[in-house]
Structure 1
Amino acid sequence: MADLSSVERIYIEKPGTSQATAQSTVEKPNLFKNRNFILLWLGQGTSLIGDQFNMIALPWLVLQLTGDSVALGLVLALMGIPRAIFMLVGGALTDRFSQRTVMLASDIGRLVLTAALAGLILYGHVEMWMLYAYALAFGTISGIFLPASSSIVPKLVTRDELQTGNSLVQGTSQLSLFVGPVLAGAVIAFFAAGGAKSAMEGIGLAIAIDALTFVVSVATLWLMKVDAGNTAKNDDIIGSIREGIVFVFGDPTLRALFVVLAAVNFLFVGPFLVGVPVIANDRLVEGAAAFGLLMSAYGGGNLAGILASMSIKPKPSITGYLTMGIIALFGIGIIIVGSITSTWIGCIVMAILGIFNGFLAIMLITMLQKIAPMAMMGRLMSLAMLASTGLVPVSQALSGFLIKYGVGELFAACGLLIIVMAAGMLLLPEIRGIGSKLL
């Protein structure tokens, strides 16, 4: 494992004082007194709400202009594909220039794009080719932004505060999924009552609100004072990406964690996104309303799990066992989801599953960030994001095919495979002893 001295604390000792004694005399830092972290949290939290305005308004705009679901799919694909592709480039750029610099440049770019689109809509000059171009450019910049945003917290807080910092950031992200769409839908619906022209004004206003949230994000990033040290020296982007991949596969602990990320997401996300609507439609009398309740319960559970991770911090010596134990329980939960026949019981099951998922997500993110050297942080987080999402389209397509043979059977098979994977991982000494790398 590479030297982690770049992220270790530095203690100032008096002559004759041991490091342990010096550590005990240092006042424990308070996360809420950390100016840089508070600026990040407020700025990105505001921007995340704006993102939800964009996610509601843009599809609605496409449908208002064309009424064509194919055009909507193309816009979303033009945004999603470059976002996935450029995550690796974003990781390399992050390690080259620093997280703050990449985030600031990306948010300025997205501010310009979003403000321009809002202006075109409000003045009645928007056309579909502009939306295709906007989606392509926005997705590309977002792909560069994401690794920087996911790797900046270790730069701002101490190792002891890392899990709490991740919990606050991820919890705010989850909360924005509740608040943002409701506010965006209310704005658009209010204007839509006045007719087609007013509806377009409402969409334009929603996009303009997103642009304003980028102003807040740019301002807070600009005000942050972050040392840009520990940046990579490799100017070759492809070489830098290759260096990150070699580093991950060359470290047994990281390699195992990446396998866990890829396997759990492959075995869960596809069956979940495809199977839960089928269960609601085929088994639950409330139909679409049941689907909404189940997904809300899962989202609420996620938020509860993330918040719980702020106060529940396991000892490093049991971290490997605890992580695989939670993954095994997660597998059991997936099996139970496949047998849901009651909406309210299903909501309880989904909420518990969400709690496991939220807590597990923070644990895995924090472990990766503690193990990774700061100079590799952007690339490792971009690879982790790719491992989490790269196989999801395959998982969804395969689930859509296999679900014809029984939704319960699909969930049972995936849950059992997750349990077996968790048990198998505990046979690896690098997982059982992962706590030694988290100190």
Structure 2
Amino acid sequence: MTDHEATTATTERPVLTGFPVLPERPAHRDRNVLRWLGAYTASMLGDNIYYLALSWAAVQAGTPAQAGLVTALSALPRALLMLGGGVLADRFGPRKVVISSDAVRCVTVLAVAVLLLTASPGLWPLVLLSLVFGTVDAVFMPAVGALPARITGPGQLTRVQGLRGLAIRFAGVVGAPLGGLGVALGGPATAFGLAGLLIAVSVPLLVRVRIADLPGDGRTAGRTPWRDLKDGLSYIRNHRVLAPLVIALALGDLGFVGPLNIGLTLLAEERGWGASGMGWVLAGVGAGAGMAALLLAVRGRLPHAGIVMPVSILTGSAAIAALPHAPDVVAAAGVAVLLGLLTGLSGALCGALLQTQSDPAYLGRVSSVAGIVSLGLAPLGMPLSAAAIGVWGTGPVFAVSAAVCGLGGVLALCVRDLRQVQLPH
């Protein structure tokens, strides 16, 4: 299939298996999308509570260094196995994979909750839980990325990305206090139990979500998983829009993650803002990203996405460079709001373009590559940023990070096929 045929295929209206073809409804008024959104929100809430409970339990059971190792362990299987997770999503269908993944996560978390409630087993169950969670995440994340195109029409995918962004922000704001309340009431076991129950809520909701058959589904029949993996990587590499889009996403994330994680902590220490000041700046980033998600959820589509996305990256990179030069914490929080708005907008548009430009048969594998870029490659910038700030200070390192991020926007603007791409109506 040529790139033009693949793009055309993704703009066709999906045919719902066992259901009549219905007019495309706005995503925020589509019960099918709202069921998916409820399931996704419950699962994300459970995730946020789980990570808080895991870190608290690990600190209680071991040394700070051991606790850090336990909480970081899940990143290893997630990075190593995510490409395989994309293959599974395309071979077996994303809903089956998401439901199975959530069921495994639920059972595992509840089992550890019961174990902690009845005994004091030390670190070993937490190590096992972290590894299992990371392994299941490697399968879960690509399948989640492949679902939106199967639950609504292509014209609603930008709105779905906005709704998904709102769910992530809501889970981040509400999940931590809920986890803290669980720990306060009954220790880590109670928090783990609450996380498991919230994840469990997502399973029956997902079972009720109608899934569309898209052109190209079932094309992996008769192939080996290894052949599927190679085909998926080759498909992305040769695609005139997806290949530069993934590279732009990688550069943008690589330049963003370091400064906004470890870099911001060191900046707050350097400027004397303290933990509360750092919290206000992070809150500004979150508020800006939430506004971007709300804008896309309400508006549903932005014209000239191939231009708006890289321009947002470039403007956001300028905000990264400006952050260490803010005269006080109030100004820094204002810059952070702008940064969150622009990066939230570019991230959601990247997600929508990945969905609409991918051949449906490759959506899981495309999502897995994008996930590795964001969750595997980008975090490598954190230790590099920390070491560089120790030598040169925050200003130069934030400027270099901004240049790396901006390079993604420049690349996107220079590639004609990506620059001219439009989201479907």
Same fold (TM over 0.5): yes
1:346 matches 2:349: no
Distance 2:300 2:29 in 1: 21
1:293 matches 2:289: no
Alignment-derived partner of residue 366 in structure 2? 380
1:9 matches 2:5: no
Shift of residue 312 of structure 1? 4.2
1:157-196 pair list within 5 angstroms: 157-189=152-184, 191=185
Distance 2:242 2:226 in 1: 21
The runs of 5 or more residues in structure 1 that have no matched partner are 13-25, 192-200
Shift of residue 180 of structure 1? 0.6
Aligned mate of 2:317, from 317, 327, 331: 331
Aligned mate of 2:71, from 49, 66, 76: 76
Shift of residue 74 of structure 1? 2.1
What amino acid does structure 2 have at the position aligned with 1:322? V
1:307 matches 2:294: yes
RMSD (Å) for aligned C-alpha atoms: 2.1
Q: Which entry has the higher C-alpha Rg, 1 or 2?
A: 1
Q: Deviations over 1:86-105 (max 9, x none)?
A: 21111100000111000011
1:61 matches 2:46: no
1:255-294 pair list within 5 angstroms: 255-284=243-272, 286-294=273-281
Q: Runs of at least 4 residues of structure 1 off by over 4 A?
A: 312-316
What amino acid does structure 1 have at the position aligned with 2:6? D
- Kindly tell me: are residues 150 and 280 of structure 1, through their superposed partners in 2, closer, same or farther at Cα, counting changes over 3 Å? same
Distance 1:28 1:88 in 2: 32
Q: Deviations over 1:39-58 (max 9, x none)?
A: 21111211211111111111
Distance 2:181 2:302 in 1: 45
Aligned mate of 1:218, from 189, 200, 203: 203
Alignment-derived partner of residue 106 in structure 2? 111
- Kindly tell me: are residues 87 and 414 of structure 1, through their superposed partners in 2, closer, same or farther at Cα, counting changes over 3 Å? same
Aligned positions, number: 412
- Kindly tell me: are residues 208 and 420 of structure 1, through their superposed partners in 2, closer, same or farther at Cα, counting changes over 3 Å? closer
- Given that 1:338 and 1:409 are in contact with CA atoms closer than 8 Å, whether structure 2 keeps it comes out as no
Between 1:172-181 and 1:231-240, the stretch displaced more is 231-240
What amino acid does structure 1 have at the position aligned with 2:200? V
Shift of residue 6 of structure 1? 4.7
What amino acid does structure 1 have at the position aligned with 2:195? D
Distance 1:219 1:120 in 2: 26
- Kindly tell me: are residues 136 and 34 of structure 1, through their superposed partners in 2, closer, same or farther at Cα, counting changes over 3 Å? same
Q: Deviations over 1:276-300 (max 9, x none)?
A: 111111113x411111111111111
Shift of residue 315 of structure 1? 5.5
Q: Deviations over 1:163-198 (max 9, x none)?
A: 111111221111110011012112322x3xxxxxxx
Distance 2:229 2:24 in 1: 37
The percentage of counterpart residues that share the same residue type is 25
Alignment-derived partner of residue 121 in structure 1? 116
Distance 2:284 2:322 in 1: 15
Shift of residue 33 of structure 1? 4.8
- Kindly tell me: are residues 421 and 374 of structure 1, through their superposed partners in 2, closer, same or farther at Cα, counting changes over 3 Å? closer
- Given that 2:49 and 2:175 are in contact with CA atoms closer than 8 Å, whether structure 1 keeps it comes out as yes
TM-score, normalized by length of structure 2?
0.91
- Given that 1:45 and 1:176 are in contact with CA atoms closer than 8 Å, whether structure 2 keeps it comes out as yes
Alignment-derived partner of residue 416 in structure 2? 429
What amino acid does structure 2 have at the position aligned with 1:9? E
Shift of residue 27 of structure 1? 5.0
Between 1:423-432 and 1:330-339, the stretch displaced more is 423-432
Shift of residue 310 of structure 1? 2.2
